[in-house]
Homo-oligomer: A and B are copies of this chain.
Amino acid sequence: MSVILEVTIRHARREDVGVIVAMLADDPLGGARERIETPLPQRYFTAFETVDRDRNIQLVVAEDGEGAVVGCLQLCILPGLSSQGASRGLIEDVRVASRCRSRGIGEQMVQWAVVEARAKGCKLVELLTHHTRVDAQRFYERLGFARSHVGMTLRI
């Protein structure tokens, strides 16, 4: 790892949508899924508004010292009956701007999510990572996550 880049984690705002989508698109899997156009397709803003209204979901960004957005993460608090009615925290859409990788930004965001999930009463934090993202799996293992489950998906 190079020198750590200290970031501030804050809630995403409407004006962050463009840079978030650019980060989502900037990897081999995301590139095929997103549409980077000017202007950005309206559906991204519609989705942002849905997320923003949802009390159980927090879409956050990591901001560097100059106020540039260099990472994003979505945390969803999922209530449920199992494990004696304990909520679970689901981490999704973790991305770090390619120019800033390996500088501890992902770790700061995930640690934020763990603290936040605990504060919301969660006993477990979980995530799915594509089986080809071997570096991501190693990263999460370093943070204490176990490869305990199989993540299964169905495109519909």
Interface residues of A (CB under 8 A from B): 17, 20-21, 24, 30, 33-35, 41, 43-44, 46-48, 50-51, 54, 56-57, 59, 74, 76, 78-87, 89-90, 92-93, 114, 117-118, 122-131, 137, 140-141, 143-156
The A interface, classified by DSSP as helix, strand, loop or mixed, is: mixed
What are the 7 closest A-B residue pairs judged by CB atoms, nearest first? A149-B151, A47-B85, A128-B149, A50-B79, A43-B85, A145-B152, A151-B151
23 A-B residue pairings within 8 Å (CB atoms): A17-B81, A24-B82, A34-B83, A41-B84, A47-B79, A47-B81, A47-B85, A50-B79, A51-B81, A89-B156, A123-B156, A124-B154, A126-B152, A126-B153, A129-B152, A131-B148, A137-B150, A146-B153, A147-B150, A147-B151, A149-B150, A149-B152, A150-B150
